[in-house]
Structure 1
């Protein structure tokens, strides 16, 4: 086993500086037109200021994202986020793929890659509370989509959004607080979609299908990552 690792740079960071520059340019143009005495409707001035601020803030939001979203070593996969990280060893992985939901008689791919684990405890023991809370919030729409498509005849979805007081793993270990909340959400998504952990497509550096194929190659050659 080597000490080498592969890194994935998120597509969400692309063009960050471009957005910032365009925001500054639009703002400067707005100021120039105003000082030059150009007469524009008040709404037009407001829209230009809003556009410049939106472009600049979007660029800043991209810049604060970690430069690397996934670190893949012969031993483990690590997901990096500005609010923390989670990681698991390859030996704890059952499978990974693009999660799919039923839409009529067809299956529709969701913009994530999902990981199914043998044991969720190592994640619960190491995930930061800030990241756990963020992921639960971020994945509300994923849960909602899964419920609508996988349980369309259900009368009440309220239990899926209740805050648990505790969570007990198969080994008997009890978690509380945000760890219990994250564990329950992971269990719900596993039941509905088949996976415990989800990485959004925006955190990857290539299309989902291509990334899955690349990751399978990394898995098969993980003791010699220099081949990739």
Structure 2
């Protein structure tokens, strides 16, 4: 196994924390429920049901956490790579014009969403550096971000069909034509940029520290990267 470069920063997702604890608790509760059932302990059927359900939920959460990649982000002076169990994407620093937490207007206040958003110079850079499975997952996962953006940024809009229609094609800045999944992804990124200001998002659970602290950390890495290139 190769040793990571000292200039490389590997970020472990908070979503993996306590994965083994959840699994062990689930197994323990299952063992207790099974023991009580075998010795015919005087417990109501509802109590047994709650024990089985609690055991299954804890095991499901623990296994889901274990399935997450050990490293969610790899940050180098040249680029940022995001890893997900369904694939990954890589962005050169030069392709990123801005990053921050997206915000929506709720009443008189701006509310931060639990995401790290990246605004790109050209979406085509990402189209060429994201795996198809992850592209498909992102389109589905970020539908609620689109809904939030429409609800709070376009409350006057009555017909949302233009935001949910499947595009036949997308013409990039280079003049290249994209179809199918790539066209859907590119158009959705444009919509999110229009509503929330960013093209692609990472949930805060993929980070290793609170979102505001991570943004400051990422800005420090960005400002210091030039000396290593």
TM-score normalised according to structure 1 size = 0.95
1:50 aligns with one of 48, 53, 68: 53
CA distance in 2, matches of 1:16, 1:97: 28
CA contact (8 A) 1:19 1:55 kept: yes
For structure 2, list consecutive stretches of 5 or more residues without a partner in the other structure. Answer: none
TM-score normalised according to structure 2 size = 0.94
CA distance in 2, matches of 1:84, 1:32: 42
SS at match of 1:116: strand
Deviation at 1:163, TM superposition (A): 1.4
- Does residue 124 (structure 1) correspond to residue 127 (structure 2)? The answer is yes
**Alignment-derived partner of residue 17 in structure 2:** 14
SS at match of 1:221: helix
CA distance in 1, matches of 2:79, 2:72: 14
Deviation at 1:158, TM superposition (A): 2.0
CA contact (8 A) 2:101 2:114 kept: yes
For structure 1, list consecutive stretches of 5 or more residues without a partner in the other structure. Answer: none
Q: Report the CA distance shift for 1:209/1:151 in structure 2 as closer, same or farther (over 3 A).
A: same
CA contact (8 A) 1:3 1:74 kept: no
SS at match of 2:46: helix
Matched residue pairs, number? Answer: 224
Deviation at 1:52, TM superposition (A): 0.3
Deviation at 1:40, TM superposition (A): 2.0
Q: For each residue in 1:38-82, what CA deviation from the matched residue of structure 2 results, as whole angstroms up to 9, or x when unmatched?
A: 122222212211110110111000001000111100100111111
CA RMSD of aligned residues (A): 1.3
